[in-house]
A and B are shown apart, each in its own frame.
Chain A
Amino acid sequence: MIAGAIAERLELPGEAVGELKLSVVDRRRALIENHRGLLACTEERIDVRGGHGSLSLSGVGLCIEAMNEKDLLISGKLERAEWDG
């Protein structure tokens, strides 16, 4: 949280200080950067842990197209994104 505030004060992008970044392309693809791990994965919901909570993406036919230590690319029909914590 402190890092987030500092970044905001310094007008730095959030991902530079390790905050979760979600990019969505036309409800078909979502790129999550700076994740800290996969919490759950079903075809209807994918939960990802972030620095200060978790992010849940809901939809239909969700699939993790690619994943590495920092980024996660999700495909499917995205319906909702929820932040927890």
Chain B
Amino acid sequence: MLVETGLLGLARIEILGAEPELLVNRGVREGLRLWKIRRVDGCTFTAATWERDLPALEAAAADCGCEIRVRSLRGGSRGRALFRARRVLLAALLLAALLLGASSLFLWEIRVVGCEKLSEGQVLRALADCGVERGSFWPGISADLVRSRVLTELPEIAWMTVNVSGSRAVVLVTEREEKPEIVREDEPADIRAKCAGVITGMTVLNGRPMVQPGDAVLEGEVLVSGSMESVTAPTRAVRAMGEIRAETRHELTAVCPLEALQIREPSRSNSRFALQIRKKRVNLGFFHGKGLDECDKIMHEYNLGVKGLFALPVTLIREERHPRRLQENWADREEEMKAALLRRLQEQIDGEILSSEFAVSRADGLLTVTLVARCSENIAETAPFAPPG
């Protein structure tokens, strides 16, 4: 019935006249379909019929002294119009499905996993040189070929593979581990001071100590000699081993301009959108204000598609512009420099910082911060063996 209604058109009509029964009988005799016939008042029937029977019914009504009024019309010519519109919609959907199917043969999203020392950009550039980039026809990509070419180009990579799923490629990278330094235990060596200080403690495992706690030593001075003398045997050359703790003094200085370019707070007006279709970019707006010379640009890219399943060749880009301005903000920078100097010193020494002092000066447009620190550290450093002269 629903299909019939859609195709033939259901008309709800009113039959007005002195004897509507006459019209009903005439219509039935002429083979017109009438149903749901009900009298609503003395001279009015309501009934349902097909849209195609309406003209014949109206002609019959004129002969029977009745009048036909169409109360509502569903389906029929309107339904067919809708169906035609839906046919266009179906065709559009089919076309979209075909385009989607075709686009899934190309790579629209490349993700690199496993990079620590190398940047993602370096790997992507190497892949692009091998023909793996956005818009590449992935059935033509040979993972083995790509791997061998990228490994040649980037020796830092030990192993890699390209997994393609739909229009997404996941590049798994394993970086090469650096070979540890090989120490020959039997090779004679001395221990020298890597910086000047006052010895506070010594643990010598092998070799002949040349200093003792309380001694002041200079940088490069032999602390433990690899030359072992004996009264019963000739002098032996051994590999000196041990830990020499000393109190040291370090001085680090950092300099920066008093005025620095600061990023202003970002505002909504300083962002714009763009669409990247394959490699073609279409800007959807303009930045307001001055030029882009003194600005930081931050771009956020959003790949359109279903995450983890497929990606479309369309990328939505949100570009933010953060204007910078010259600002004298030395108070913040001074604290940043002090913290940076302490971090740097902690990385340099093999021990702990006992006390620290900062000296700050502002002259000639420069901010100078000097760190003077007293440390307790291991100053032992293995050095090539030098036989005592």
A interface with B by C-beta (< 8 Å): 37-43, 63-69
Complex contact A63–B21 (CB within 8 A): no
Tell me which residues across on chain A come within 8 A of B29, comparing CB atoms.
69
* Mask: chain B, 33-48; 1 = CB below 8 Å from A; 0 = not: 1111111000001000
User: Which residue of the partner chain A has the closest CB to B27?
Assistant: A67
B:42-65 near A, CB below 8 Å: 45
Complex contact B36–A65 (CB within 8 A): yes
B36 to chain A: closest CB distance in Å?
A: 7
Q: B39 touches which one: A41, A65, A68, A69 (CB < 8 A)?
A: A41
Q: What are 30 A-to-B residue pairs whose CB atoms are below 8 Å?
A: A37-B21, A37-B25, A37-B28, A38-B25, A39-B21, A40-B21, A41-B21, A41-B24, A41-B39, A41-B45, A42-B39, A43-B38, A43-B39, A63-B37, A63-B38, A64-B24, A64-B34, A64-B35, A64-B36, A64-B38, A65-B35, A66-B35, A67-B24, A67-B28, A67-B35, A68-B28, A68-B33, A69-B28, A69-B29, A69-B31
Tell me which residues across on chain A come within 8 A of B28, comparing CB atoms.
37, 67-69
User: Which residue of the partner chain B has the closest CB to A36?
Assistant: B25
User: Which residue of the partner chain A has the closest CB to B31?
Assistant: A69
CA distance A64 to B15 in the complex (A): 14
Query: Interface centre among B29, B31, B36, by most A CB within 10 Å?
Result: B36
Complex contact B25–A41 (CB within 8 A): no
Tell me which residues across on chain B come within 8 A of A37, comparing CB atoms.
21, 25, 28
Tell me which residues across on chain A come within 8 A of B33, comparing CB atoms.
68
B81 to chain A: closest CB distance in Å?
A: 29
User: Which residue of the partner chain A has the closest CB to B32?
Assistant: A68
CA distance A67 to B29 in the complex (A): 10
Q: B37 touches which one: A39, A64, A69 (CB < 8 A)?
A: A64
CA distance A81 to B367 in the complex (A): 114
Complex contact B21–A67 (CB within 8 A): no
CA distance A64 to B21 in the complex (A): 11
Evaluate whether A67 and B38 lie within 8 angstroms (CB atoms) in the complex, with A38-B24, A38-B25, A41-B21 already known: no
A41 to chain B: closest CB distance in Å?
A: 5
Evaluate whether A38 and B21 lie within 8 angstroms (CB atoms) in the complex, with A68-B28, A69-B28, A69-B29 already known: yes
Tell me which residues across on chain A come within 8 A of B39, comparing CB atoms.
41-43
Tell me which residues across on chain B come within 8 A of A43, comparing CB atoms.
38-39
Complex contact A63–B25 (CB within 8 A): no
User: Which residue of the partner chain B has the closest CB to A47?
Assistant: B21
A-B interface, 4 closest residue pairs, ranked by CB to CB distance from nearest = A64-B37, A37-B25, A66-B35, A63-B38
Tell me which residues across on chain B come within 8 A of A39, comparing CB atoms.
21
CA distance A42 to B24 in the complex (A): 13
CA distance A45 to B85 in the complex (A): 46
Tell me which residues across on chain A come within 8 A of B21, comparing CB atoms.
37-41
Tell me which residues across on chain A come within 8 A of B25, comparing CB atoms.
37-38
CA distance A27 to B163 in the complex (A): 73
B59 to chain A: closest CB distance in Å?
A: 18
Tell me which residues across on chain A come within 8 A of B34, comparing CB atoms.
64, 67
CA distance A63 to B31 in the complex (A): 20
B61 to chain A: closest CB distance in Å?
A: 15
CA distance A40 to B63 in the complex (A): 19
CA distance A39 to B29 in the complex (A): 14
CA distance A63 to B40 in the complex (A): 10
User: Which residue of the partner chain A has the closest CB to B20?
Assistant: A41
B322 to chain A: closest CB distance in Å?
A: 76
